[in-house]
Structure 1
Amino acid sequence: MAERIRDAIAKARAARMGQGGPDPRPLNAAPQAMTLRAGPAGAAWAALSPLEPSPVSLRTKRVVAREGGAEAGPFDMLRTKILQQMRTNGWTRLAITSPSAGCGKSTIALNLAFSLARQEEIYPILLEADLRRPSLAKLLDIETGPQVSEVFAGRAEFSDHALRVGPNLALGLNTKPVARPAELIQSKTSGEALKRIEAIYRPDLIIFDTAPVLVSDDTLALAAHVDCVLIIAATEETTIKEIDICERELAERTNVMGVVVNKFRFSGPEYGYGYGYGYGEEHAG
């Protein structure tokens, strides 16, 4: 199934190029180096409220990249490819989305954030941008409290709602849905909030867990705020047509980094990989 999705994506891209359509992965301007936080930025990170998720709970929800090891291997590979491409192109904002619900995008986003944070010199921020059906807080067993939408609306500072896992991973979560999320995402206050977060915390990259593209216009609205997007597809659930539509819509607005095939049963005991929660094929390039 993963091979068929890969081949179909390649053919669809080639067909669009032959029709004079836009390259789904245009390059941005000259690369820029990623800098480490120091001074006031370091103090800002240290001041964030700490969170220590339950390792047992994380594993039951297929979040396996916090501690590393063989099961985190697929996410570490994805981390390396993403870092290489983002550094090459000078990108710092990555959206993770899917064509429809149930593809596992939030689980992948959280695993990716934990994988990145295991590199001590990297300071990532993961933001909940699926404001209709937020799920990151549930994955972390947080029922009430953080509401990063208040930061987007300009009514609060990031430090008021952010949580820090370890010394170098910050989470902006929502525990309740938000009315009219597309309007909030497109608002001037959201853009200003993101710029302020970057100015104060100087993250190496910001990851946005966004709404499914074919469910609402929320992610299309967010595309104006990000440098690139990664599409998550579910084996035997997501159709080739859905992937193609999703990629077409996003490619008109931002850089499409690639497609990750999730829920892919990978038989590779010699590498110690598990199955059913990792990635199958990653087509960033």
Structure 2
Amino acid sequence: MSRIEQALKKVSRDRLETSRVMVDVPDKKVSPGSSNNSKGLDRRNEGAVLLDVQPLSIADRMLVAAHENGSVAAEEYNKLRSTIIALTRGEVFLNTLLVTSTASDEGKTITALNLAISLAKEQDHTVLLVDADLRRPSIHKYLDIEPEFGLVNCLRDGLPVESALVKTGIGKLVLLPAGESVKDPLDMLSSMRMREIIEELKSRYSERYVIFDTPPAQIFSDAVVLADMVDSTLFVVRENRASMADIQKVLENFKKHNLLGVVYNDSNTHLKKQNYYYYD
């Protein structure tokens, strides 16, 4: 057991289930937005059933769950999916899940995307992925789309949520993009309007998972604020990225919330070095 695993086990006090996610290394640096999806196609959801939607063309090799290649990496995300389902499907469906990390460059956005895609391929679930990183939104770049509206418009302008939803055609996955970047979105995220939106998303469909990608928790307090509004939190730790002291400090901030588990990324004992690109 590594130094990080030992410390995490102690900090979590047996409250966490730790999963390793092994992701194949791309041959070269992959930047978000490398596919050729049509920019003219209106993918906003106006309340229609999610049928007959042309799937987005996913070129980014980090999104391994989008490809039916039976790779080891894709299977690891399927295992994570199974663990999440087992931990959240009980007498009460804990269907709102926040994904964060200690520092930047730990792979939280890639984890959120791959988990959402994997869950969306399940027959029994629909998935709504929310880009709640309003400071540096990036999910739309990985999917190579240019949304006209997003969460910012819902919070700031009162836009109905359904007018900002984007159908991906990837399983039963729908995206609520950020819409635009905001320098200091804390007032928006801590507002009553944000609570109302989360409650609306949580209760609209009984079988839906709602996954929120948020900024790193050591850098900004956005994730801690939102953790108070959702059912549970998934924490991403990348080997040799954040110090153990920083990890412990951040995890302490989530003690009063339902910390569902830790995804241990980029373990040197199980896979080669992988690069994630976040917060240049």
TM-score bucket of the superposed structures, by smaller chain? 0.7 to 0.9
- Rounded to whole Å, the distance in 2 between the matches of 1:76 and 1:114 is 10
Question: 5+ unaligned residues in a row in structure 1: which ranges?
Answer: 15-22, 26-42, 268-273, 279-285
**TM-score (normalised: structure 1):** 0.76
Instruction: Identify which of 188, 201, 209 aligns with 1:205.
Output: 209
Q: Secondary structure at the match of 2:249?
A: helix
Partner of 1:74: 76
**Native 8 Å contact 1:125 1:203 kept in 2:** no
Query: Map of 1:152-171 to 2, 5 A cutoff?
Result: 152-153=155-156, 155-166=158-169, 168-171=172-175
Query: Map of 1:42-191 to 2, 5 A cutoff?
Result: 44=47, 46=49, 50=53, 52-55=55-58, 57-59=59-61, 62-68=62-68, 69-70=70-71, 71-88=73-90, 90-153=93-156, 155-166=158-169, 168-191=172-195
- Rounded to whole Å, the distance in 1 between the matches of 2:109 and 2:52 is 22
State percent identity of aligned pairs: 28
Q: Which has the higher contact order (CA 8 A, sep 6+)?
A: 2
**Native 8 Å contact 2:198 2:230 kept in 1:** no
**Native 8 Å contact 1:24 1:248 kept in 2:** no
> How many Å apart are 1:258 and its aligned residue?
1.7
Q: Secondary structure at the match of 1:225?
A: coil
Distance 1:13 1:123, change over 3 A: closer
Distance 1:276 1:109, change over 3 A: farther
1:181-225 CA-partner distances (Å, limit 9, x unpaired): 111111111111222233434452110001111111111111121
**TM-score (normalised: structure 2):** 0.78
- Rounded to whole Å, the distance in 2 between the matches of 1:212 and 1:234 is 12
Count of aligned pairs: 243
> How many Å apart are 1:141 and its aligned residue?
1.4
**Native 8 Å contact 2:96 2:210 kept in 1:** yes
> How many Å apart are 1:48 and its aligned residue?
9.3
> How many Å apart are 1:115 and its aligned residue?
0.4
Question: 5+ unaligned residues in a row in structure 2: which ranges?
Answer: 17-45, 276-280
Runs of 4+ in 1 over 6 A off after TM superposition: none
1:258 equivalent in alignment to 2:257? no
Q: Residue 127 of structure 1 aligns to which amino acid in structure 2? A: V
